[in-house]
Amino acid sequence: MDAVIEGAGVAKMTLYRNFASKEELALAFLERREELWTQGWLQNEVEKRGSDPAERLLAIFDIFGEWFQRKDFEGCAFVTIMLELDDRSDPVRRASVRHLANIRAFIAGLAAAAGVPDADAFARQWHILMKGSIVAAAEGDTQAAARAKELGSLLLADRGAAIPG
């Protein structure tokens, strides 16, 4: 908490007035991360880059490719936190899992709009591609997003979705 206080440049009392515990602070961070990253950036960019649902799904990996090249790329906070907390009942871990489920629900909505049967199962597979590309990029694979996009095209074609362009 001392590092957070120093980094934020606030008094200890100010931080504790807003967040009574590290857990509350972590939960607030995850909520804000979803607002900024999932909704404000990823979903917004996906909608700008494609008019067709399948095109939007594939755009995820174009967006990821740009993200992976940024100097401030640090992976996915939701995955990192979920993996760091072993206790499945931990509220912060459960929140991370819930935020990942929200991303998957967005993918399922796109899949359903693309006419993919069993959109939930498809979204789970697509989400594996997303998370796997993030991990591969963190390992240093500069082509992780392109590789995931190629697999995504195959997955879409296998499910009978029309592939754009």
Rg (CA), the chain: 18
23-158 CATH: 1.10.357.10
Confirm if 114 and 53 have CB atoms less than 8 A apart.
Answer: yes
The answer to whether the pTM exceeds 0.75 is yes
Question: For 87-144, how does the pLDDT look when each residue is reduced to its tens digit (9 = 90+)?
Answer: 999 999 999 999 999 999 999 999 999 999 999 999 999 999 999 999 999 999 999 9
Taking only the tens place, the pLDDT of each residue in 54-78 is 999 999 999 999 999 999 999 999 9
In the prediction, which pLDDT does 5 show? Answer: 53
| Model pLDDT, residue 90 | 94
